[in-house]
Chain A
Amino acid sequence: MYSDPAPDRRLVACPDCDLLLRLPVLEDGASARCPRCDYELWRRRAGSRARCLPLALAAAVLYVLANAVPMLGLEAVGHRASTTVVGGALELWADGRELVAVLVLFTAVVAPALQIGLMLAILVGSRRAPAPRWVGTLLRHHPAAVLWSMIEVMMLGVLVALIKIADYATVVPGPALWMLAVLVVLLATMQSLFDPREVWARVGWAADGATDAAAPDTAEARP
C-alpha cells in the first residue's frame, strides 16, 4: 500500500541519525549538514547531469581501453610476461583460488563497469522530465556499485606489487596502468559532481501519475 507524499518536499530525515529537517535554499556548491551528527545531507551542484555526462563518456572509453591492453609487463633472463586486469584474475582462477578470483573480478572489473554504465543510463534516461521509472531503479542501486568499485585500491595494490617484484625482475608498466590512473581521477570527479537529488526530482512516481514537477527543489534546479 502506498503512503501519502510528504506535506513538504524539502523535508528530509538524516540517514545517519534520523533527525527530521527542512532543507534550506542553497547556492550552487554549498552544502547542508545535519546539525546533530554532521552528515552531509545535500550538496547542490547546479547542472550536475550536464557536467557528469562527458565525464561518464570519457570514463567508459578509458575503461574499455584499460581492460584491453596490458597493464604490467615483466622481463627477466630472456623471459617476457605481461598481464591485463582480467588476466590477473584468471591466473588466480587457474591457481585454484576461484573465490578470490571472483572477488578481484567483481571489484576491479564488474563493479567499475556497473558504476560507469549505470551513471550513463541514469544521465541519458533523465534527459526528459518526467524520466521513466527505471531511471529511479538504477539510481537506487548505483551507490552499491560505487561501494564495491575499487579501482583506486587496485592501483595502490599494483604499485606495491611492482616494487615487490622489482627485486627479482625488471617490471615494465603497461599503457593500461596510466589509463587506470586517469580513470581513478575521472570517476572521483564524476561522483563529486553528481547530485542524485536533481535526478530524483525528475523521476516519474510509482504512485498513480504523481510527479515531482511542482516540487520546490525541482523548480530551483531548472532555472
Chain B
Amino acid sequence: MAAGLQRCEGCGLVSRPPAHAPEPRCPRCDTALEFRKPDSLQRTVAYLVAAAICYVPANLLPVLTTRTAAGESSDTILEGVVLLWSPTGWPLSLIVLFASIMIPSAKIVALGYLVLSVRRGWAQSPAQRTRLYRMVGFIGRWSMVDVFVDTFTAALVQLQPLMSVEPAVGLVFFAAVVVLTMLAVESFDPRLIWDAAGANEVRHA
C-alpha cells in the first residue's frame, strides 16, 4: 500500500512517481526524488575518516602563538584549557574542554557507531540510535566556539611591541575537524537505521 510513495527532500510533499519514470521529480518544487540520500554511508565514512585524521594535529599542534618582550610561547587547545583554569575562569575552561575536545571526539565515535550499526544490519533499538543521531547534529555546531575564541583573541591582542597573539597552524586543522564532522552528520541518512532494523521493508517491496 505504501509502496511507490516518495517523500521530497526539498519540500516534504509525498507523491507517487509514475511506474517507469527514469528520473522522477517532485511535482511541487521540482527536486529530484530519492528514496534515500545518495551514497550516504560512503560519504559519511569519507568525511569521518578525514575528520579523524585532522583531529590528531588539531590537538597536538599549537592553536595560538603569544609573543611578548620575554619571548614566544605556543599553546595547544588542551594547554588553553589549563591556562583558563582559575578560581573565576573554570566554567569557561570547562566550556572550551567540552566544545573543543569532547564534542568533536564524541561526534566521530557516535557517527562511526551509527555507520557500523547500519552496515551490520543491527535490528535493536532504532529509536535510541535515531535520537543519538539527532543529538550529534544538535551539539555539533558548538564545537566552533574555540575557533571564535582564538579569532577574537588574536584580532584584539596586538599591543606591539609589548605583546601580540597570532593564530597558529593547529587552528586550521581544528576548523577542518568542525566542518568535516558537520558534513558527516549532513551526509548520514537516519532512515538507514530503520531500514537495517527491517522497519521499512514495505517501502522497498
Enumerate chain A interface residues (CB-CB to B < 8 A).
Answer: 1-7, 11-13, 15-20, 36-39, 72, 74, 76-77, 79, 81, 83, 87-89, 91-92, 95, 97, 99-100, 103-104, 107-108, 133, 136-137, 139-140, 147, 150, 153-154, 156-161, 163-165, 168-169, 171, 197, 200, 203, 205-207, 210, 212
Enumerate chain B interface residues (CB-CB to A < 8 A).
Answer: 2, 5-7, 10-18, 21-31, 33, 83-84, 88-89, 92, 95-96, 126-127, 130-131, 133-134, 141-142, 144-159, 162-163, 166-167, 171-172, 175-176, 178-179, 182, 186, 190-191, 193-195, 199-200, 203
Q: Which 7 A-B pairs have the closest CB atoms?
A: A157-B148, A3-B17, A13-B7, A207-B27, A206-B30, A91-B155, A88-B155
Total number of residue pairs linking A and B with CB closer than 8 Å: 234
Contact B172 A17 (CB under 8 A): no
The answer to whether A140 and B29 touch (CB under 8 A), given A3-B6, A95-B166, A100-B167, is yes
Select B159's contact among A20, A79, A97, A163, beta carbons within 8 Å.
A79
Select B148's contact among A4, A87, A97, A161, beta carbons within 8 Å.
A161
Contact A37 B17 (CB under 8 A): no
Tell me what chain A mostly uses at the interface: helix, strand, loop, or mixed.
mixed
Chain B residues with CB under 8 Å of A203's CB are 11, 28-29
Alpha-carbon gap, A205 to B29, bound state (A): 6
Chain B residues with CB under 8 Å of A157's CB are 144-149, 151-152
Residue of A nearest to B15 (CB): A3
Contact B148 A95 (CB under 8 A): no
From A3, A81, A100, A157, name the one whose CB has the most chain B CB atoms within 10 angstroms.
Answer: A3
Alpha-carbon gap, A138 to B83, bound state (A): 45
Alpha-carbon gap, A73 to B136, bound state (A): 35
Alpha-carbon gap, A169 to B163, bound state (A): 11
Alpha-carbon gap, A108 to B127, bound state (A): 34
Contact B16 A4 (CB under 8 A): yes
Contact B148 A103 (CB under 8 A): no
Alpha-carbon gap, A168 to B179, bound state (A): 32
A–B Cβ pairs within 8 angstroms, 30 of them: A1-B25, A2-B24, A3-B15, A3-B17, A4-B16, A6-B13, A7-B16, A15-B12, A17-B190, A36-B194, A37-B126, A74-B157, A76-B159, A77-B159, A92-B151, A92-B167, A95-B166, A100-B147, A104-B147, A104-B148, A136-B29, A137-B29, A140-B29, A157-B149, A160-B95, A164-B83, A169-B157, A200-B13, A203-B28, A206-B27
Contact A2 B145 (CB under 8 A): no
**Knowing that A79-B159, A168-B163 are A-B contacts, what are 12 other residue pairs whose CB atoms are under 8 Å apart, sorted by A's residue number?**
A5-B28, A6-B13, A17-B190, A17-B199, A92-B154, A99-B172, A157-B147, A160-B92, A160-B95, A160-B149, A163-B89, A200-B13
Contact B156 A81 (CB under 8 A): yes
Contact A11 B22 (CB under 8 A): no
CB distance from A188 to the nearest CB of B (A): 13
Contact A12 B152 (CB under 8 A): no
Contact B28 A200 (CB under 8 A): yes
Chain A residues with CB under 8 Å of B193's CB are 17
Alpha-carbon gap, A157 to B149, bound state (A): 4
Chain A residues with CB under 8 Å of B162's CB are 76-77, 79
Residue of A nearest to B127 (CB): A37
Contact A2 B11 (CB under 8 A): no
The answer to whether A140 and B10 touch (CB under 8 A), given A37-B126, A203-B28, A210-B27, is yes
